[in-house]
Amino acid sequence: MRIVLLSGGSGKRLWPLSNDTRSKQFLKLLRAPDGSRESMMQRVYRQIREAGISAEITVAASASQRDSIVSQLGDSVKSVLEPERRDTFPAIVLASAWLLTEERCSPDEVIAVLPVDPYTERGYFETIARMEKAVRDGAADIVLMGIAPTYASSKYGYIIPGPGKTAEPYPAERFVEKPTEAEAEKLIERGAMWNGGVFAFKLRYLMEIARRYVDPADYSGLLARYGELPKISFDYEVVEKAESVAMLPFDGEWKDLGTWNTLAEEIPEVMGNAVAGEGAENTHVINELRVPVVVLGVKDAVVVAGSDGILVTDKRASAKLKPFVDAAENHPMYVERLRPMYEERRWGSFKVIDYGKYSDGVFSLTKHLFIEAGSAISYQKHSLRDEIWTIVNGTGALLLDGHVRNVRRGDVAYITAGMKHAIRAVTDLRFIEVQIGEHLAENDIERFEWEW
């Protein structure tokens, strides 16, 4: 079996900490077994390994998430990157084609696909192992995991089991996508299960479907013609049209941590430079800024301060956050400045700490960068801006137009437009970067090879 972890979109319901590059699954808010903090991505990866599943794992993600994946899971985990976001059907097809043609998997290999952000327990992953066996035994073309519902919810899709079910896996009769709560109650009475977005199938089966759109449906062909695949979910395009679908139930702990309300149930009430004082009942405060946040007399709320903004919301209202974030991000002052304000890279991370626009049309952007010991920023040049680097802590090797010199705290480098530059951290390295120019575009970059 091969496992494909679906790393989805930006998760704007967890704004202001999540954005297009730092998606919700990368937020290190959950408590790890050793007492440290881990992300949803790290938690699911750890749980797969702890469940004794030896299958190789591939992450299907957008190109903007590549560095976050490497930073959190390491270089050994392989990823398949979408050239553009087109929903779960194209993403799963692209990952499957990569496994078939680049990894040389057998067409009869079983592929298990699951999201990276469920909050669940060991039995969930043991059920995935049972799904593999069901596919190999020919129980159905596609085997799904049905999550035992704990309440009538309109947030999830439902799997309706077929009549006369006697043994697992059960045949799936039909699917209902996000019914009303009243309809959901009736479905649950009939034995319906939540659709948790977990699928198992043989490679051969999905690639035959892919050939309806792109032929030959190998990895390079699909990558070049990715935009021709329909922008549609795997459920709609494959599962609901399939003639042979079965379901294995899972009745253990399972949560979708997609909103601040649900995530708050699994994290400490106060995180970061914050104080929740008198009258702050059932209120969570998360602060990633250096300035303190104090909350008094506020009940049943979530207060979040991050580089991209500040959120104050009643917990029940937090699920309705997304359209308000869209409106805030369309404000002229937000559109004008560069985004994202915080980003993880494979070499470390950066945070934007200041942005300025001046009367002569020149802009400035100030970043604080952290590079892990042994890592390096790529050898690159910019055509439209100058940069000033000030080392504030640690030691490193600075490369300017082919010449290397050692740098430490207090050293300053002036990098003019067109100058090739890179830096490698000998110890953990922190420096301030000031960009100055009439255009400060992220795509103003040309990279070059360099062996340290």
Assign 58 a pLDDT band (cuts: 50, 70, 90).
Answer: very high
- Residue 404 pLDDT > 60: yes
Q: What is the pLDDT of residues 346-398, one digit of tens each?
A: 899 999 989 899 999 999 999 999 999 999 999 999 999 999 999 999 999 99
Model confidence pLDDT, tens digit, residues 101-160: 999 999 999 999 999 988 999 999 999 999 999 999 999 999 999 999 999 888 888 999
What does the mean pLDDT of the chain come to?
Answer: 91
SS (H, E, C) the chain: CEEEEECCCCCHHHCCCCCCCCCHHHCCCEECCCCCEECHHHHHHHHHHHCCCCCEEEEEEEHHHHHHHHHHHCCCCEEEEECCCCCHHHHHHHHHHHHHHHCCCCCCCEEEEEECCEEECHHHHHHHHHHHHHHHCCCCCEEEEEECCCCCCCCCCEEEECCCCCCCCEEEEEEECCCCHHHHHHHHHCCCEEEEEEEEEEHHHHHHHHCCCCCCCCHHHHHHCHHHCCCCCHHHHCHHHCCCEEEEEECCCEEECCCHHHHHHHCCCEEECEEECCCCCCCEEEECCCCCEEECCCCCEEEEEECCEEEEEECHHHHHCHHHHHHHHCCHHHHHCCCCCEEEECCEEEEEEEEEECCCCCEEEEEEEEECCCCEEEEEECCCCEEEEEEEECEEEEEECCEEEEEECCCEEEECCCCCEEEEECCCEEEEEEEEECCCCCCCCEEECCCC
Q: Residue 75: pLDDT above 90?
A: no
Residue 159 one-letter amino acid:
I
- Residue 338 confidence (pLDDT) above 90: no
What is the value of pTM for the model shown?
A: 0.84
Angstrom distance (rounded) from CA 232 to CA 128: 24
- What domains can you pick out in the chain, each with its CATH number? 2-256 (3.90.550.10), 269-320 (no CATH), 347-448 (2.60.120.10)
**What tens digit of pLDDT does each residue of 211-266 get?**
999 887 789 989 999 999 999 999 999 998 999 999 999 999 998 888 899 999 99
> What is the percentage of the chain residues whose pLDDT exceeds 90?
71
Per-residue model confidence as pLDDT tens digits over 159-184: 998 876 667 888 888 898 888 999 99
**Over residues 57-78, mean pLDDT:** 90
pLDDT at 339 over 70: no
